[in-house]
Amino acid sequence: MAINIEERRRRRDQKLAVQAATDIVQQAATQRRQITLEWACISAMVLVALALGFTAWHRHLPPQGLGSLTWTGFVLGGLLCHAGLQEGKARLTYLGLAVFAGLPLALIPFHFFSPEPALLPVLALAAFAGALFAAALRWAWQVRATAGALRDSLASMRESIGEMGAAVAAWLHDVIVRAIFSLFLIGVGSGAMIFGRQQQRELVFWAGAAIIFLIGSVGLWAPGLYSRSRLPVAIRSCGQLCFWLSLLVLPFLEPGPDGALPYTVKPSLRFAAMGLGLILIGATWFLQRQSIFSHQVKPEPKAGPERVFSLAVVILGLLVTFLGADARQRMSVTVDGTVVSETNLLGRITFHPADEVQSVIVLKPLEGVPFLRDVAAYAQLQFPDGSSQVLLPLLYPGEQRDADNHGLLKALRSAAQLNAQTFPMARVERWSR
């Protein structure tokens, strides 16, 4: 029995202690919330009062009228706020004192000043501003005991702002460091690409392009960084640059033969580069554990559909890389003074005498798009027996923005002596003898 009594006492003490702790926490939270709301309201009242006072002053009120109405509002607002802050019957007592004793005191200035009817709205605004200011002062006096907590809150706010400023400074430092090294890589890579384009050195051009692709890894190795990129993120950034630049930019920059006979060209390397970019994007996405859409502060596990999509990106990248490399190895177009030959993806070679080419029809589907209106979708060679052969200038390096200056079309026109240009229909161009 004694054990049971002691056990009951211990459990009772535990419950009482838990209940007391809960009450203290709730009371502290309520007190903190009330302090915050009270001082926030006081600050808002002061700001509104100052704004209304400046508005009334801006209306060019006479100083006597502005001072008189501000005094009236100040007296009545302070007394009414004092009465409202009382408890019980004392509230009615102080309310009566505000009406019977405060009202004559507030109206003393009107013995020396008679307001004009046209100025009554602006004068009422000044009186309301004085009342708000007095009420804010009276309320601040009521909660003056909580000024220490407010001071602590302001101190913590200043500390938070200081920490935020330090974080912003660190972020800005990293941005500047990354920008410096990115600009350095852009300068080196662009110089190599320009040199390779001018000297018709494809290897130098693609070496410069690879240097630009490495901009995505600057956050991984640049010295002096406070926060470095994670390895999967850096690799994925390089893959994204490789894919998008190869798709959208490099077709217009890649050097190709100038069209002089004999002319030989192979498919562009940018298709293999696009595939490699997709492989880097999909592989890092597939191997990482957290979701690519989650925030770094709150990492979330990767969902099932993300694994499927990332694996699909890897497979697509492998297919594009294989097809691009295989096309580079097998396909080619050769044009000389007598023969036009093409080797397709299956390794089959097609020969046509150059003098049998009656015309070349070029389709330009993007005439309404600025900077792309002269891009050729395909070129069709027509022969006397009614047969034709389609070539795709976009597959081969050369001047893409102006199809007439693409090396392949220049070589075809030169070999077949096609000098007459006509436009049989919109977006279609024909070269014939």
For the segment 122-131, what is each residue's pLDDT rounded down to a tens digit? 777 777 888 7
pLDDT score at 18? 47
- Phi/psi at 420 (5° precision): -95, 120
Q: What is the per-residue pLDDT for 29?
A: 47
Task: Report the distance separating Cα 238 and Cα 216, nearest Å.
Answer: 4
More confident residue, 185 or 161: 185
Average pLDDT estimate for 215-233? 89
Which of 30-34, 81-85, 88-92, 365-369 shows the lowest mean pLDDT across its residues?
A: 30-34
CA distances (Å), origin 407, targets 69, 206, 363, 378? 87, 19, 16, 14
In tens, the pLDDT along 246-270 reads 999 999 999 988 888 899 999 999 9
Spatial separation of the C-alpha atoms in residues 49 and 35, rounded to whole Å: 21
**Interatomic CA distance for residues 110 and 72, integer angstroms:** 9
pLDDT band at 244 (very low <50, low <70, confident <90, very high): very high
Strand order in the sheet with 378-382: 388-391, 378-382, 359-363, 428-432, 420-425
What is the model's pLDDT at position 13? 56
pLDDT above 60 for 22: no
- pLDDT number for residue 71: 76
pLDDT of residue 213 exceeding 90: yes
16 pLDDT band, cuts 50/70/90, is low
pLDDT of 283 > 50? The answer is yes
Q: What integer is the mean pLDDT of 315-331? A: 95
Answer yes or no: are the C-beta atoms of 379 and 412 closer than 8 Å.
Answer: yes
Q: How confident is the model at residue 372 (pLDDT cuts 50, 70, 90)?
A: confident
Mean pLDDT, range 209-213, rounded to an integer: 95
Quick one: pLDDT band at residue 241, thresholds 50, 70, 90? very high
Give residue 156's pLDDT band: very low, low, confident or very high (50, 70, 90): low
Strands (E), 241-358: 263-265, 332-335, 339-343, 349-353
CA dihedral for 127, 128, 133, 138, sign (positive or negative): positive
Q: How confident is the model at residue 216 (pLDDT cuts 50, 70, 90)?
A: very high
User: Average pLDDT, whole number, for the chain?
Assistant: 81
Residue 28 is predicted with a pLDDT of 46
Selected residue with higher pLDDT from 117 and 289: 289
If you search the block for the tokens 């209106």, which residue do you land on?
373
Distance of alpha carbon 271 from alpha carbon 324, whole angstroms: 5
| For range 173-179, the mean pLDDT | 91
Q: Higher model confidence: residue 206 or residue 95? A: 206
> Tell me, what's the pLDDT at 153?
61
Q: Please confirm whether the linkage preceding 251 is cis (ω < 30° from 0).
A: no
Region of poorest pLDDT, from 165-169, 257-261, 285-289, 400-404: 165-169
Q: What is the DSSP letter of 301?
A: B
pLDDT at 2: 46
In the chain, the percentage of residues whose pLDDT exceeds 70 is 76
pLDDT at residue 112 tops 90: no
Provide the pLDDT for residue 133.
Answer: 84
Q: pLDDT at residue 150 above 60?
A: no
Please report which confidence band the pLDDT of residue 62 belongs to, taking 50, 70 and 90 as the band edges. low
Dihedral, 250, 253, 255, 258 alpha carbons, nearest 10: 130
Rg value, the chain, Cα: 41
Q: What is the pLDDT of residues 188-207, one digit of tens each?
A: 999 999 999 998 899 999 99
Beta strands in 354-404 (DSSP E): 359-363, 378-382, 388-391
**Is the pLDDT at 359 greater than 80, yes or no?**
yes
Is residue 71 within 8 Å of residue 110, measured between CB atoms?
Answer: no
Range with lowest mean pLDDT among 4-13, 122-131, 248-257, 415-424: 4-13
In the numeric block, the tokens 């080196």 are attached to: 188
pLDDT at 279: 96
Mean pLDDT of 287-293: 80
- Please tell me the distance from the alpha carbon of residue 216 to that of residue 296, in angstroms, as a whole number: 18
Q: What is the rounded average pLDDT of the residues 102-120?
A: 68
26 vs 283, which has greater pLDDT? 283
Cβ within 8 Å of residue 286, ≥6 positions away: 307, 310, 311, 313, 314
**Higher-scoring residue by pLDDT: 62, 249:** 249
Positive or negative, the CA dihedral 322, 326, 329, 331 is: negative
* Average confidence (pLDDT) over 213-230: 90
Q: Are the C-beta atoms of residues 395 and 267 closer than 8 Å to each other? A: yes
Mean pLDDT, range 12-34, rounded to an integer: 49
What are the sequence ranges of the domains in the chain?
2-142, 348-432
Supply the DSSP string of 29-76, one letter for each residue.
Answer: HHHHHHHHHHHHHHHHHHHHHHHHHHHHHHTT--HHHHHHHHHHHHHH
